[in-house]
A and B are shown apart, each in its own frame.
Chain A
Amino acid sequence: DAGVIQSPRHEVTEMGQEVTLRCKPISGHDYLFWYRQTMMRGLELLIYFNNNVPIDDSGMPEDRFSAKMPNASFSTLKIQPSEPRDSAVYFCASSPGPWTDTNYGYTFGSGTRLTVV
């Protein structure tokens, strides 16, 4: 398995532009998570899905952020309009379910480093 695949790896955009981050979870994993990592705040959960349905979006910072999961193999995180304070590394992770926590936890992608100038 190729693991969790995120694209792009790096994104540089101007303030005010729309940014779309993409994620392909591991096949068969029912849970998908979007995290943001910064030096100051560490890893913060933005939103997670179970079977393509958003379960908890309480970590989404503002209405400028939106996430979708149209099918089991694809999810997007969109920021519109982007601001410099959105600069961070965005990670996608997937999990079969809490019953596999003992041996697997979550599998993270390599992340997208977003820079808004």
Chain B
Amino acid sequence: EDQVTQSPEALRLQEGESSSLNCSYTVSGLRGLFWYRQDPGKGPEFLFTLYSAGEEKEKERLKATLTKKESFLHITAPKPEDSATYLCAVKSITGGGNKLTFGTGTQLKVEL
């Protein structure tokens, strides 16, 4: 069974204070690791997909990296508008073909 664990559960940063969110996963054959952002009262919004160890993707102040056991979402010089819950999910060969298994998320708060 695919498993995804995210840490920390919550993170409070000052504006401009860079940090990283962690996503550890256990799958039998990774087809993709996904990062989503979720704002209160809304559905998750797609950020990145990573496929193989060593791969990196960037979007504005966010950079996602992938190893064989975990992924990191690095946030550089965050702003208050980056406050949200960040979700990690995996798709695996044994996961039914096209379904995502999500972690419980990291709730990020960026303060002025």
A contacts, CB < 8 Å to B: 4, 31, 33, 35, 41-45, 48, 50, 55-56, 58, 91, 93, 95, 97-98, 101-111
- Pairwise interchain contact A102-B104, C-beta atoms closer than 8 A: no
- Pairwise interchain contact A98-B99, C-beta atoms closer than 8 A: no
- Pairwise interchain contact A41-B46, C-beta atoms closer than 8 A: no
- Pairwise interchain contact A56-B99, C-beta atoms closer than 8 A: yes
A97 with B98, Cβ < 8 A, contacts A43-B87, A110-B43, A111-B43 known: yes
B34 at the interface (CB under 8 A from A): yes
- Pairwise interchain contact A105-B99, C-beta atoms closer than 8 A: no
Chain B residue numbers with a CB within 8 Å of A98 are 31, 91, 97-98
- Pairwise interchain contact B98-A102, C-beta atoms closer than 8 A: no
- Pairwise interchain contact A31-B98, C-beta atoms closer than 8 A: yes
Which are the 4 A-B pairs with shortest beta-carbon distances? A108-B43, A105-B46, A42-B104, A43-B102
Q: How large is the interface on B (under 10, 10 to 19, 20 to 34, 35 or more residues)?
A: 20 to 34
Chain A residue numbers with a CB within 8 Å of B78 are none
A105 with B104, Cβ < 8 A, contacts A48-B99, A97-B98, A98-B98 known: no
A45, A50, A109 interface centre (most CB from chain B within 10 Å): A45
Chain B residue numbers with a CB within 8 Å of A41 are 104
Chain B residue numbers with a CB within 8 Å of A35 are 102
Q: What are 8 A-B contacts defined by CB distance under 8 Å?
A: A33-B100, A48-B98, A56-B96, A91-B44, A98-B91, A105-B34, A105-B46, A110-B43
A55 with B43, Cβ < 8 A, contacts A42-B102, A43-B87 known: no
B7 at the interface (CB under 8 A from A): no
Chain A residue numbers with a CB within 8 Å of B36 are 105
Mask for B77-112, Cβ within 8 A of A = 1, else 0?
Answer: 000000000010101000011111111110000000
Q: How many angstroms from the CA of A10 to the CA of B46 in the assembled complex?
A: 24
